Structure 1
Amino acid sequence: MQDGNKQSGVSRRTVLAGMGAAAAMSLAPHGARAAGGKEAPQLAALVKDGKLPPLAERLPPKPMVVTPLEKVGTYGGTLRRGLRGSSDHNGILRLVGNQGLVRWNMDFTEVLPNLAERWEVSDDATQFTFHLIPGIRWSDGHPFTADDVVFAIEDVVKNTELYSATPAQLAVAGKPVVVEKIDDSTVKFTFAAANALYLENLATPLGQHPTLFAKHYCMKFLPKYNAGLDAEVKAAGVSSWTELFRAKCGDIEIPSRWSNAEKPVLDPWVVKEPYSGGATRVVMERNPFFWQVDTEGNQLPYIDELNFGISQDVESLMLNVISGKIDIQERHISVLANKPTLSQNMKKGDYRLLSLVPSAAQQCQIYLNITHKDPAIRKMFADKSFRQALSLGMNRQEIIDIVYFGQSEPYQAGPRPTHPWYNEKLGRQFTEFNPEQANSMLDKIGLDKKGSNGIRLRPDGQPVFFSIDVIPTLYPDLVDTLELVKSHWAAIGVDIKVNTIERALYYTRGDDNAHDAAVWPGPGGLDPMLDPRDFFAFHPQGSRYAIPWTLWYTSNGAKGEEPPESQKQRFKLFDEARSTADLEKRGAFMKQLFDITAEEFETIGVCLAVGGFGIIRNNLRNVPEKEPDSWSWPNPGPALPQQFTFTS
């Protein structure tokens, strides 16, 4: 067995670039709780009244010790943060749901211990043995053990009625992982082939499954363990046991994760007022069994309560920020057009600005649905010359100047220019504005006839028209970008509709392969292996240019639609890259993959991702003022909000 740096639990370093100084924070694997450790006054009162076990019985014998960023904090206060509508569940996840087996460090470069205090990795990267911190308890006081981890994967995630396919992080070579208990505090994951990236994937939000489902609670909603489940399904007024399970136990990325106050969790705070239909806020209160302490032995979290106010529009959220009603926020307000307003109102709102370092590659990636259900549109989108012509017909510099205040540069896709795997062709090809060449290319592929309105006609006589799905509440800048693209493409005879829709419908249309095209910020700038959705059909929801191809890949050919050979080549290269711990060999595989992606030109990018920002109230401390901005590093969660504290 190869020891994963057993003393510190640190994994092999991920190939990332662009982050600066190391965080002023550390996390000890574990250590004896310091003498004189304290708890929040509210919990002490419950202990005194006999309603809660003493602190020593609620903490592990050797709890994980967190070094506060600035200073040991004080108990108390309500942290206020904003959500947008009824489908902003990831806004909660980013602050609260960071309790996996492992986690990222502040610089987004190393994997650190979390619920697993240490681990070993086999030399061939097929076996990962995790040693859990002994004595941790779920929020209802029930012990957290290896049985919970085995249950979460073997009984839940590998249940084909709950999951149509095993999540990509837990399957290699078309086969799901096998998880087995060694003893109460030790669990072994065995993959069918090398999975050298597993620790890094485990540190991301999509790696949370092993610690998401408490066996003693969630087993009640599985037919395997509950013979009377049909009656409970009927009593609950739902259509199936799977629907009941989701309502009670949730999943990583669905609102119901935060809608059941009874569900045991391992998070610093637990649901008090749930995220459910019609709710105007979500309230969470301190978990009395949380398993971390500070350097003086004080149980975390410091902050008593979280209050997520639900706004229906960004304007309301901005007003709350400016008037001092929000304590930390970057989600939804990190739009360049908002920055002058937020800068001008710092004194009024009593806040300071937070800087976000983008890990994304692309500010706006356009995905034409190459697997479209309409044969005529499918044929048009599948023509590489059509996609290249659209790219040349886009005035990127105008978009950058107007929408992004000149703070970017034309870019297609791929690792950012600072990354060691940067591929110039992938990033820069067809980014010049050349409408003459675009018109010539469109003429040559048989779109040389136009209607009276100047819009080109397809061979079947229909106008060259399609809609592009975009979520205005989540990415208003992408709406502005598309409006400019619409005018650029109209000038070369292509008509589009900027289709502004709600997030739930956006995903539904994608899942059903019912969209013409869609936009999303393109990931993979600093973490190209963790989110390669733009490089090949990898993500069943994210690779929106060919979702049926992703289903074929993730199901090992059992579902979806068989992709062309160039996709299969990239599947193989990626599988080879993620099967080796040798960074040089891994890089060689990925560079070959990028070369193929550049040649195929499946997506159309606009400009390099722009750095974001947010606000932190001046009396909220222990908060880093510069942090990565990434779904893989779900800011601000890896900064450990349980050690955030208020000053008087």
Structure 2
Amino acid sequence: MQIFEEMHMRHRFMLLGALLIALLALAACGAQEAEEEAPMAEPEAPAADMSDSPYGEAPMLAEMVAAGELPPVEERLPVEPVVVPVVDSIGQYGGTWHTASWWAGMGNIKMIAYDPPIRWRADYNGYQPGLFKDYVFNDDGTQITYYLREGLKWSDGAPYTTSDLQFWWEDLATNADYGDVTVPWYGFNSDGETMDVEFVDDYTMTWTWDEPHWITPTILAQGFWEFQDRIMKPRHYLEQFHPAYSDNEDYSALLEATQDYFRNPDHPVITAWGTQSMEAGVRAVLVRNPFYWKVDSEGNQLPYIDYMDIEVVENEETRLLNLSEGKYDASFRDGSSNPTHIPFLTQKAEDGNYTLYTEWMNGAGGWPCWLINQDYIGDGEDPDKDAEIRALLRDVNWRKGVSVAIDRERLIDVVWDGIGIPQQSTISPQAWHFQSPEGQAVNEAWQQADAEYDPDLAAQRFEAAGFTDQDGDGWRDLPSGKSFQLILDSGDWGGQVISENSNIELKEQMNAIGIDAIVNDLFGQPEWGSRQTEAKYMFRNCHASELDIWTYPDWIFPLRGNRAWPLQGRWRQTGGAEGEEPLPGSPAAKLQALYDKGIATGDQEERHKVVWEAVQIHIDEGPFTLGGAGDQPMPVVIKNYFKNVPSFGILGPWAPGSPGNVHPEQFYIEQ
């Protein structure tokens, strides 16, 4: 990174980096080669000497302090640094974390540098303050007050205060002339006007609405996109591009500067590492943030690791080979996200000098699974037939019949080589709504609902729906006698290969029960998206996983123009301007009412109970998303010298910021 300023003056690491490399090369001369037993040949660096300070720091930063290029560590930390508990032991400073990304945007790496205002807990069971010190609601949930940590600094040393948040809100989000960063969806009152935002002082900010917003703080905890992409805007850096504060006549320079902070080495960050260099689509090098605001229990400033070196490798087979050969120090989604790779990686573990962590889960409630369109409109060539198909897809007997007609054990063997459990589609079994004994019982009932293979019961269900073979051609017909063909839209949701294989297997199993089914391959086609939003699909393959349904409600509540209710969801999303209003007493109407009940409830345990009520509708009147399998593990590969990685985690849903929520800043490389 073009290095960090102290009080708006940049220091540069490049010379230091070159010096370190030269020193390391000299130190390595005469040492025995141990490429598989150690990472880069960087000097041993247990937590730094704290004889002159209550805090320790990395040797590379201590050298900068000694050279007068950086303030002492106690001046770089906030008044009350956040103390991060280590997983196993106090770490050692130094080293480079080598890993990969499969796309130029490197979203998987942004998930490692995860530092939102409110964050997911490391055990995935709820939230806690993160970058912000605290947040407090008023009595009716219409106002929230955020308290920032005093003395926070950007990676260049400039203070981080509510002035930066004011710049985001007033100069970017609500600035109609700018347009790239807009008001987030939770930032509006019921009448469409923006919420009231007050910047009380340097460390206090309030948001006020005309109705309760109990879930809004937790939205800020989701992934990198809600805070880091949208709100992490350093005023002191970006003002130089803004027409209101510079000689620029338009917003083009500002747009370029704010398009993606991760690709801009000059952009200050608040995270543990920031970009030092970026070769788009090829490689990125991240460097430690010298003003990072966390310490371990002994006062050592984090992170322990100096650098991250990320190569972009789009080809999955190449990443898998690199992973198996021990090229990556720690890989979560990075080298492989395919559970079927686990046996191969297990076989190669000894030669690759790594350990395969077997309790990191995908968190899938359905993988594969299929959306069943409750708003089907067809292609318009035969409106009467399209209406009859919609009625069939809405028929609970028909949907339950299809569900029990699936041999999920066979599907798992064919698609997953036996990995995963047969189940109905749910959200993540590890979701915090289901952690209590009562919640676990609800989730288990949902997983088992109509999930046992029973072709005789399927035939009875079809008979009750009037779905029989009326012309003797071997295929079941619509109740009117018109022919029926079940179209299975296939895309890349959940992975192209998994989608293809699961759709082919479902087609064959549907054929076996007398349903004429075909696979509609839409991989890479615009129709893959448009057929969902326009409600033209019948079945659509998907991957269902969510840990907090209130922040991403679509799997249970029809609120937007997607999932199983594209038109009824759009009606809700647009306030009735578009889509179709749910019929009174229909599943969609009941689920929308429950959502309103939940978000108006201030007590979290009571909100969990509302989720259970909604799940019961899915059990009784569903499935609306048809499940095949779920709860697969993920191939997490950790080199044997890479320490403080917890044994358990969840990687399927991106919302909790995993692995960022388990504090990668306390990972370390044993020298």
TM-score (normalised: structure 2): 0.77
The structure 2 residue matched to 1:115, chosen from 131, 148, 161, is 131
CA distance in 1 between counterparts of 2:533 and 2:237 reads 30
Change (3 A) 1:128 1:313: same
Shift of 1:576: 1.8
Give the distance between the partners of 1:508 and 1:267, measured in 2 at CA. Answer: 37
**2:275 is matched with which residue: 271, 276, 281?**
271
C-alpha separation in 2, matches of 1:360 and 1:168: 26
2:340: which partner in 1?
Answer: 337
Letter in 2 for 1:204: Q
* CA positional deviation for 1:154: 5.0
Contact 1:58/1:141 (8 A) holds in 2: yes
Identify the residue that residue 412 of structure 1 maps to in structure 2: 425
Q: SS of 2:311's equivalent?
A: strand
Q: Is the 8 A contact 1:361 1:414 kept in 2?
A: yes
When residues 549 and 86 of structure 1 are mapped into structure 2, their CA distance, relative to the original with a 3 A threshold, is: farther
In the TM superposition, residue 621 of structure 1 has moved relative to its aligned partner by 0.8
Which residue, 647, 660, 671 being the options, matches 1:637? 660
Match of 2:370 in 1: 366
The alpha-carbon deviation at position 498 of structure 1 amounts to: 5.6
1:4 maps to which residue? none
2:564 corresponding residue in structure 1: 545
CA distance in 1, matches of 2:650, 2:166: 32
The amino acid that maps onto 1:410 is: Q
Partner residue in 2 for 1:26: none
Query: 2: distance between equivalents of 1:116 and 1:301?
Result: 19
The alpha-carbon distance between structure 1 residues 446 and 163, as it changes in their structure 2 partners (threshold 3 A), is farther
Partner Cα separation in structure 2 for residue 226 and residue 458 of structure 1: 69
Q: Which of 1, 19, 39 is matched with 2:57 structurally?
A: 39
Is the 1:66–1:292 contact (alpha carbons within 8 Å) kept by the matching residues of 2? yes
Counterpart code for 1:344:
Q
Instruction: Report the 3-state secondary structure (helix = DSSP H, G, I; strand = E; otherwise coil) of the residue aligned with 2:646.
Output: coil
* Residue 531 (structure 1) aligned with residue 535 (structure 2): no
Deviation at 1:624, TM superposition (A): 0.9
- After superposition, residues 159-178 of structure 1 pair within 5 angstroms as 162=179, 167-170=184-187, 173=190, 176-178=194-196
1:533 match: secondary structure:
helix
* CA–CA separation in structure 2 for the residues paired with 1:313 and 1:125: 48
Residue type of the partner of 1:126? T
Judged with a 3 Å threshold, the aligned counterparts in structure 2 of structure 1 residues 546 and 626 are, in CA distance, closer, same or farther, namely same
CA contact (8 A) 1:177 1:190 kept: yes
Indicate how the Cα distance of structure 1 residues 48 and 118 shifts in structure 2: closer, same or farther if over 3 A, else same: same
Q: Are 1:214 and 2:234 counterparts? A: yes
Residue 554 of structure 2 aligns with an amino acid whose one-letter code is: R
Paired letter, 2:647: E
Among 159, 164, 185, the alignment partner of 2:203 is 185
**Structure 1 residues 505, 258: closer, same or farther in 2, change over 3 A?**
farther
What is the CA–CA distance in structure 1 between the aligned matches of 2:75 and 2:531, rounded to whole Å? 50
Per mean C-alpha deviation after superposition, the further-off stretch among 361-370 and 184-193 is 361-370
- What is the identity, as a one-letter code, of the residue corresponding to 1:641? P
Change (3 A) 1:502 1:306: farther
TM-score by length of 1: 0.79
Q: What letter corresponds to residue 408 of structure 1 in structure 2?
A: I
TM-fit CA distance, 1:469: 3.3
Deviation at 1:647, TM superposition (A): 0.6
- The 1-side partners of 2:612 and 2:182 are apart by 28
Structure 1 counterpart of 2:222: 204
Matched, 1:499 2:521: yes
Show the counterpart of 2:289. Answer: 287
Question: How much is the aligned-residue C-alpha RMSD, in angstroms?
Answer: 3.9
Work out the CA distance in 1 between the residues paired with 2:527 and 2:63.
47
Paired with 1:544 and 1:613, the residues of 2 have a C-alpha distance of 28
- Of 379, 396, 406, the residue aligned with 1:394 is 406
- Relative to structure 1, the CA distance from residue 36 to residue 133 in structure 2 (aligned partners, 3 Å threshold; closer, same or farther) is same
Distance 1:584 1:120, change over 3 A: closer
Q: Is this contact kept in 2: 1:523–1:533, CA < 8 A?
A: no
Tell me which residue corresponds to 2:301: 299
AA aligned to 1:544 is: R
Paired with 1:523 and 1:449, the residues of 2 have a C-alpha distance of 39
Query: 1:583 and 1:296, CA in 2 relative to 1: closer, same or farther beyond 3 A?
Result: closer
Equivalent positions of 1:304-383 (< 5 A) are 304-331=306-333, 333-354=336-357, 355-357=359-361, 359-371=363-375, 374-375=379-380, 379=387, 380-381=389-390, 383=393
Q: 1:132 aligns with which of 144, 148, 160?
A: 148
Equivalent position amino acid for 1:184 in 2? D
CA deviation string 1:217-247 (max 9, x = no partner): 44566676678443x63xx7xxxxxxx73x5
Distance 1:441 1:165 in 2: 49
Identity across matched positions, percent: 26
The yes-or-no answer on 1:145 pairing with 2:148 is no
Among residues 600, 607, 629, which one is paired with 1:586 in the alignment?
Answer: 607
- Offset of residue 435 of structure 1: 4.6
Contact kept, 8 Å, 2:400 with 2:622, in 1: the verdict is no
Contact between 1:107 and 1:628, CA under 8 Å: does it hold in 2? no
Deviation by residue 1:118-146 (Cα, 9 ceiling, x = unmatched): 23222222222121111212223332111
CA gap of 1:453–1:147, structure 2 versus 1, over 3 A, is farther
For residues 590 and 73 of structure 1, do their structure 2 counterparts lie closer, same or farther at Cα, with a shift above 3 Å needed?
Answer: closer
Structure 1 CA distance for aligned equivalents of residues 284 and 567 of structure 2: 36
Residue identity matched to 1:91: N
Report the Cα distance in structure 2 between the residues aligned to 1:39 and 1:350, rounded to whole angstroms. Answer: 29
User: Which consecutive residues of structure 2, in runs of 5 or more, have no partner in the other structure?
Assistant: 1-49
- The reply on whether 1:262 has 2:266 as its aligned counterpart is yes
Question: Within 1, Cα distance between the matches of 2:526 and 2:656?
Answer: 23
Give deviations 1:177-210, integer Å, cap 9, x for gaps: 4321110011112233223333433332254267
Q: Which is greater in Rg?
A: 2
What corresponds to 2:26 in structure 1? none
- Secondary structure of 2:168's counterpart equals helix
**Residues of 2 paired with 1:609 and 1:483: CA distance?**
21
**Paired residues of 1:33 and 1:297 also in contact (CA < 8 A):** no
Q: Does residue 109 of structure 2 align to residue 92 of structure 1?
A: yes
Q: 1:384 — aligned with what?
A: 394
Instruction: Specify whether residues 508 and 350 from structure 1 end up closer, same or farther in structure 2 by C-alpha distance, changes over 3 A only.
Output: farther
Q: Distance in 2 between matches of 1:265 and 1:520?
A: 35
Measured at CA, do residues 523 and 147 of structure 1 come closer, stay the same or move farther in structure 2, by a change above 3 Å? same
SS of 2:554's equivalent in the other structure is coil
C-alpha contact 1:523 1:532 (8 A) present in aligned 2: no
Deviations 1:59-108 (A, max 9, x none): 32433232332233222211122222345x43122211x21112222212
- 1:626 Cα deviation from its structure 2 partner: 1.6
- 1:38–1:314 CA distance, 2 compared to 1 (3 A): same
Q: Is the 8 A contact 1:450 1:493 kept in 2?
A: no
Distance 1:186 1:603, change over 3 A: same
- Asked if 1:577 corresponds to 2:575, the answer is no
Q: Deviations over 1:131-181 (max 9, x none)?
A: 111121222333211122233345544567748985455457565543211
Code of the aligned partner of 1:384 = R
- Decide whether the 8 Å contact of 1:100 with 1:211 is kept in 2: no
1-structure distance, mates of 2:83, 2:288: 18
